[in-house]
Amino acid sequence: MTGYPYRTLFVWVALLALIWIALCSPWSSGWNTVCAVLVVFVTFVAMVVATKRVRIRREATRHVLHAVDAALSSLPADVKRNTPLVIAIGQTGDELADVFGAGLVRMTDSAVWVRNDDPARLMHVADALKRWRDGQGPDAVAYLLAADQATGFVTLQAGLKRWCSAIGEASRAVGYSLPVCMALYAREAEDTADECPWFGVSGVERMQAGRLTDLIAARLAQYTHVASQEIADARQSRAHRAARLDGLVRWTSQAILPAFTETQRGTVQLAALGVTAINGRPAADSLYGRFVTGITELPLCAAADAALSETPRTPPRPHCPLPEPLIRGIEPQPARRALPRALAHAFVWLAAGFCAAAAASAWQNRALVERVTGNMARYTSIAPVRDAARVDALKAVRRDRDELERYARSGVPPRLGLGLYRGAPLLAPVNALIAGYQPPPPPPVPPPTIELDSMSLFRSGMIRGMACRCACATRQHSQNNRAATHASLY
């Protein structure tokens, strides 16, 4: 069996995140380390949860799949794909026991029926059957309900909501809305010469209670009209049966359909509904019996009690037929393989990672351009007389120049790449700005003076020579200082 590779996809997403953090992240190394540890931790937790879910699903569906394999092992391999697969569920479990007995799988001419008694396991069973059929999930869910055995309204509604919620979870597990076939049984104690057929509609996308009642009532009228050409006893029994089933449809439209149309809207698709009559005695105080009594003012169990009093015997166990005619009207589900969907999701995550890398590259390129142009603007805004401030600003421009030259020689790093690098056009203006630096002219130096108490100690020629030598020495010292400062900037 093959299913959706959740764990492989988790590893793929984590790998993309770590690559982005290592190569494209604009954050500091400390934040990158924290994010990397967080990604690894979340991936580990997701892997553990996914592994536990796989084990739970296998344990919950192992016996079901074993029973299905045993039932279909002698059939051709394409039967499991071409034959409709239906999951049968029941309100109390008695309906399933009447249909399946002690078995879990039943195969008929029109479908393969798989029994499920627990709402909590319906999601796992549906997903496991989809894996077993290589991506083709169950074609429908058949909800079997013995209408005249339900005696508590609160219990009935709670069961319906619980199963509706389970069907919604199963639909999300298999990836599509599971069609629901509602099959209701009404018990009758009279011995009839013919077996009751199914009366209902199938393949309807949106069922409306009023329209549904009218459709089934018209078919019940046709059933009674056909009986009018037979003997009187058969005509009378069919008329009683049609009246009971008509009341069952009306009760269903009020008590059952709202639970499927109001709860879990959009995930539960009621595609078929049918009623039939089976042998047996209805419950004395059922909801359906009270509904019929409220309409006809006649107890539903009166005829059953009379029949049992005439022939006192233990009634046989009722036989609940499967709603095969209703299933034929539901379209089979196409195969939805997990591998193409997983590859599509992996490609989507790859595209998301590329977009995140492009966004980080664009943001860091903008920051680089703003930093370089800002340093250049700060340098040019300083007046030449403030040479110390200009030298500091020129050092920042020189660091930017070294960084741009390193990118030009060794290549642009991934965090600035992806075709978004914008630093190359800035290299020439930065070099021109650095080359255009000129130190300010030196301030004028006053000639040194010597005060003597008596000028008679020196001759006039000697005094002029000493003054010239002092001035030359001062001028040479100033030129040496300017040359050293200019060399340090480059």
| Res. 222: pLDDT tops 90 | no
Beta carbons of 289 and 301 less than 8 angstroms apart: yes
What is the C-alpha separation between 146 and 199, in angstroms, rounded? 15
Name the residue ranges covered by the structural domains of the chain.
1-68, 75-336, 347-440, 446-451+459-490
Q: What does the pLDDT read at residue 450?
A: 62
Residue type, 439: P
Mean pLDDT in residue range 246-258: 89
Tell me the range of 18-32, 264-278, 298-312, 445-459 where mean pLDDT is highest.
18-32
d(CA 452, CA 424): 66
Identify the pLDDT of residue 384: 86
Tell me whether strands 112-115 and 105-107 are parallel, antiparallel or unpaired. antiparallel
**pLDDT score recorded for residue 459:** 54
Mean confidence (pLDDT) of the chain? 82
The residue whose two tokens read 């219990």 is 155
Nearest to residue 174, comparing CAs of 53, 333, 62, 326?
333
H-run or E-run covering 183: strand 179-188
Predicted local confidence at residue 482, as pLDDT: 53
CA dist., res. 423 & res. 413, Å (int): 12
Supply the DSSP symbol for 149: G
CB atoms within 10 A of CB 269: 19
Least confident stretch, 109-118, 159-168, 218-227, 462-471:
462-471
Decide if pLDDT at 92 tops 80: no
Does residue 303 have a pLDDT over 70?
no
Separation between Cα atoms, residue 8 and residue 489, nearest integer Å? 56
Q: What is the tens place of the pLDDT at every residue in 45-66? A: 999 999 998 898 888 888 888 8
Report which DSSP code applies to 147: G
Q: In whole angstroms, give the CA distance from residue 168 to residue 138.
A: 14
pLDDT at 314: 46
What per-residue confidence (pLDDT) applies to 318? 57
Question: Is residue 214's pLDDT more than 70?
Answer: yes
pTM (whole model) above 0.85: no
CA dist list (Å): 348 to 9, 17, 218, 387: 11, 14, 53, 56
- CB within 8 Å of 10: residues ≥ 6 apart: 43, 46, 47, 50
Q: Across residues 373-380, what is the average pLDDT? A: 94
Q: How far apart are CA 158 and CA 259, in angstroms?
A: 9
The residue with greater pLDDT, 473 or 351, is 351
- In angstroms, the first-to-last Cα distance of the chain is 71
Q: What is the pLDDT of residues 391-409, one digit of tens each?
A: 999 999 999 999 999 999 9
Pairwise CA distance, residues 176 & 137, whole Å:
9
Give the pLDDT confidence score for residue 475 in this predicted structure. Answer: 58
Residue 231's pLDDT is what? 55
Instruction: Tell the residue number behind the tokens 């009207």, with chain if given.
Output: 329
pLDDT for 480: 57
pLDDT reading at 5 higher than 50: yes
